[in-house]
Structure 1
Amino acid sequence: MNAELVSSEQGSGTSWSRPSLAEAPRVPGGRWTDPLGGVPIGRTERASDTVTRSFGSVPDSVSEARRFADRVLAEWGVTEVGDDVRLIVSELVGNACRHALSPGRGPEATPVVVRLGRTDDPREVACLVADSSDRLPRKVDAHHFAESGRGLSLVAAFSREWGWNALSGGGKIVWAVCGGRD
């Protein structure tokens, strides 16, 4: 699916105020240094409140990232947000694999980095996906029968909040927070 925020209603407007990681300080990884170079492809790093894994920019990475998310959520005992996190990981990793190819590097050598983080609410999980593309998520108007263009509308529907940040060295992080407050 395409990671573009889509309005499925004719004439619904396109206003959207994008929060940044700085405006959501409880999101682990808000101060994520070197997300694209810190974890080699195929490796996992763990910290007290985050687990990070780097994938190649290939189609199989989408299902691998879903399995990664399932394992981490099971370890943390927050499987109730599993469906939402899997959907969000699928959308964001799929988009990154489609759009984030580094010049001079093949897809297997272009990282897509997924970080799952625990917040101060034990029922809440933050999902962050970093890629090397400078193409930022953007709104488009898609017709009800369009075959693509609804990725970020799904992310918005299945998360409490989401946003993105450009990286200073190129690339971006797209993040979403699932679960938590009832």
Structure 2
Amino acid sequence: MSVKYSRLNTTEDDISGVNSDDDEYNVELSTRQILREEEADEDRDNDGEETYTVEDAVEKLGLGWFQFRLWAITGLFSAADACEMMLLAVLSPVVRCEWGLTQAQVALITTVVFVGMGCMSPFWGMGADKYGRRNILMLASWLVWYFGMLTSFSPSYTWILIMRGLVGAGIAGMPHG
């Protein structure tokens, strides 16, 4: 009987040293040996080419002012994002009292932000790949600011929904920048 191990592409006959008492232990030792041999073959195939891991690259580059500046800038964008989302907690009760909205209508104000985020996120990602992360981050930030400002001038409930949906579309671009 021949059992095939699909992960290693070997059969039970290829694995030496398997006896009936310690089948699992011996198979495990044999598979480790096969994996080591495969890694050695891969190392020989590289023909002396060095490979770097992400960890090696970070160690080589180090940590400097560029990383701190980038951390500060992206942190400010994240803070602006958080403020925009927190605005919903303040906006909802005020509009509810001012315009006599139902609880479902108030919940819809928050929902359209997430709908805008969900609909636009794939497009922001493709745009960031094509036009650059910095450009997308700036455009998304501008859209969040612009439509956030227009939200304060919304004359009706419908316009608040539209503006908050567009704010959500802008917020979706922040992580892609």
Given the two structures, how large is their TM-score scaled by the length of structure 1? 0.28
> Which structure: larger Rg?
2
- Greater RCO (CA < 8 Å, at least 6 residues apart): 1
